[in-house]
Chain A
């Protein structure tokens, strides 16, 4: 179990943005309230060039969060140790305040499917994901944060609520949690539960970072709303309200605005960051 008594350098309880190279110059010139940035680990695993240079420049100005999308922690197969080694090298280079990954799988056999795929919540998957998190933390020599997924469907075989599953993983492995409140909202609408009840049941003490982002809305076969986590739109009011609901219970945390597809001009993303900063400023100290 990872020893939580030796915390790694923490992200500030302030606003961050998901870093997009097209924002590089404006982000450095007019960051607004932004105090930290998050990068997707796999985009910085090349050998050099502009990605490395920009990462160096960002790390001189901002606190950094490294967010992996390719580790497949929820996979049935053993973790890819070559990828884990690349990750370790990147973290040594970037020295981030936080490293996070997803409760999901994306690799199957020799294939990488480039999406965050869902898993059932059972004793079997709990043991497997717990072992994978322990292996990641042992290899990286640091605590990791685990992000809750956006769910579009449920597994008939699941025996745990997602919040209980996450709490059990925290207890087993000493990992922290990345609470994506947009994912909570998306999953809650899609699976017909209350997002506030999810937050009430969620182990907030373990939260090291919060995400907000945009989603799309379609309908399922029966005309029921089906929300899709697209990271391609502004954060909607109910998600801002859920962020405020969460911050009122857990106090200020590092809050990230994610916008990954149809990326807007910097002033639009900065305005989203300003709104997140307001929510943080009004959060009670807990």
Chain B
């Protein structure tokens, strides 16, 4: 009896399926529980990977709940790459479609936040931004293009993702406010930092990806009349959000 890898795989993520025939112990008896070692290894190792990848989701639903939730996900969505640092990209959508947790509507965005923090951690290194570039006359400054560091990530949510993250890391933190929030995730050296963005700042960052500093300020002010450019710029510089100072001016 030949056991090909399709039949070995078929029973691996299905606890109810019998072990494939043709697998045996030292006496020639059917492998039985011995096959379950592989089943267990796959689900436990992927669950461990999920625990590392989604610490904020895990804290918010409770560790025990997460540890029963993760195996449901890993059986439905095994990794598509040997790079476990990328595993779990489907988890936000899985959470949003998972009816038993429909009352925790924010979990999808919190999972996106965890993914962004891990992506920030593994992103490419960059030459720090040189703030001297900003010492220019206003008419030149407006045409400047600022470039985000490869590690910089932005999460805009209709949920209070920053407050939820604070609550997850510190149970004595205030209850999350009933507002949407935008967070900036940056990596000054090796450890990702999380910053709550003031009003209009997310529009400013998003616009900067394709347009000049002046255009970004206009867009941010249009979106939020109380957009505070000075505060936002200080935050961006102090958190090392930018790298290479300037593209070729248009």
Residues of A within 8 A of B (CB): 42-43, 45-53, 69-72, 75-76, 80, 83, 86, 105-108, 110-115, 117-120, 152-157, 190-193, 220-222, 224, 226, 228, 261
Contacts and interface: CB of A to CB of B under 8 A. Distances in A.
A38 to B, nearest CB: 17
Interface of B: 1-6, 8-9, 12, 22-29, 31-35, 37-38, 41-42, 45-46, 48-49, 78-85, 121-125, 150-151, 187, 190-191
B49 to A, nearest CB: 7
Nearest to B191: A50
A220 B85 contact: no
Contact of B5 (A76, A83, A222): A76
A115 B42 contact: yes
27 contacts: A42-B82, A45-B85, A50-B191, A51-B122, A52-B125, A75-B5, A76-B5, A83-B82, A106-B82, A108-B9, A112-B80, A113-B9, A113-B79, A117-B12, A120-B2, A120-B3, A152-B35, A153-B23, A153-B25, A154-B24, A156-B23, A156-B24, A157-B3, A157-B22, A220-B34, A221-B33, A226-B37
Contacts, number: 139
Contacts of A45: 83, 85
Nearest to A74: B5
Contacts of B3: 120, 155, 157
Overall SS of chain B's interface: loop
Contacts of A191: 25-26
Contacts of A47: 122-124, 150
B15 to A, nearest CB: 15
Contacts of B45: 114-115
Given A49-B121, A113-B12, A157-B3, A152 B85 contact: no
A89 B1 CA distance: 41
B23 A154 contact: yes
B24 A50 contact: no
A107 B121 contact: no
Among B6, B12, B24, B81, chain A packs the most CB atoms within 10 A around the CB of: B81
Given A112-B79, A190-B34, A220 B5 contact: no
Contacts of B41: 115
B78 A111 contact: yes
A45 B81 CA distance: 12
Nearest to B23: A153
A75 B27 CA distance: 27
A86 B81 CA distance: 12
